[in-house]
Structures are given as C-alpha cells and as structure tokens.
C-alpha cells in the first residue's frame, strides 16, 4: 500500500508545531513566525519570519537556507520610487526623504543582493555570506 502524501505532510506539520510551541515556552503570544517551504516531492525546510511594522512602511524578513528574503509594502500614493542599499547586516530602504533600516538575522553577501518594485511591493533577495 502506498503512503498517503497528505498524511505525511500532516505528520510533518504536527512535528513542526510541537517543535515551535516547545520553543515558545511561556512567552508564546499566539503568533508563529515560521513557514514551511517544499518543492513538489522535496524535503520541507523550516524558515524563520521576522515581521516589522513602522509608520509609512511595513516589511517581513524571511530566512531560508541560503538566502534572506525581504518583502516590504510601500504606502499607497507615494510620489517616488524607493532606493535600496545593502550592508552585510542590514538593508536600507529610502523614499520620499525617509530611510528605513531593516536589520538582518544573518550576514549577507552585498554583491549578491537584488530588489524589484512592483505594485507598491519591494521584493529583496540577499544571498547569505
């Protein structure tokens, strides 16, 4: 009999949730900052998500095995395109006279960082050092 892939995925999710809730201890606030990523037939990996909100902009930092991803939401009605600069432990997003510093959970290789802006969303990818 072939195993049901849905059952296996459920077991993986259950183990992940047990692990996450165990890590949270008594300070668990109901927000789980992790995601499960897997290609078809691939092994799921656990990644940490660091959401942040600031006046004018909000972002989420996602740490994968080899890269760090930042997704930032720009406010509607902005007049200028943002500029992005990279440092080993931070990314700076600047637009309309404001600069926002995104602290990174690990060092990145600034030569292998890129970004694109589309429909008010900045997608940033940085390869880990």
Rg (CA), the chain: 18
* Comparison of pLDDT for 16 and 33, the residue scoring more: 16
- Which tens digits make up the pLDDT trace of 27-79? 444 444 455 555 555 555 555 555 566 667 888 888 888 999 998 888 777 77
SS3 128: strand
Angle (CA) 85-87-91 rounded to 5° is: 55
Fold for the domain defined by 46-128: Immunoglobulin-like (2.60.40)
Q: According to the model, what pLDDT value does residue 40 have?
A: 52
Q: According to the model, what pLDDT value does residue 53 have?
A: 60
- Domain positions in the chain: 1-32, 46-128
* Comparison of pLDDT for 54 and 104, the residue scoring more: 104
């Amino acid at each position: 009999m072939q195993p049901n892939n849905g059952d296996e995925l459920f077991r993986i999710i259950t183990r992940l949730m047990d692990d996450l809730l165990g890590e949270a201890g008594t300070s668990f606030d109901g927000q789980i900052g992790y995601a499960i990523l897997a290609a078809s037939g691939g092994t799921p990996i656990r990644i940490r998500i660091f959401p942040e909100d600031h006046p004018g902009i909000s972002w989420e930092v996602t740490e994968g095995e080899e890269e760090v991803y930042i997704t930032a939401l720009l406010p509607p009605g902005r007049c200028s395109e943002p500029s992005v600069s990279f440092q080993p432990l931070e990314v700076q997003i600047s637009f309309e006279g404001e600069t926002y510093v995104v602290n990174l959970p690990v060092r990145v290789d600034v030569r292998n960082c890129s970004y694109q802006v589309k429909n008010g969303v900045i997608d940033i990818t940085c390869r880990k050092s």
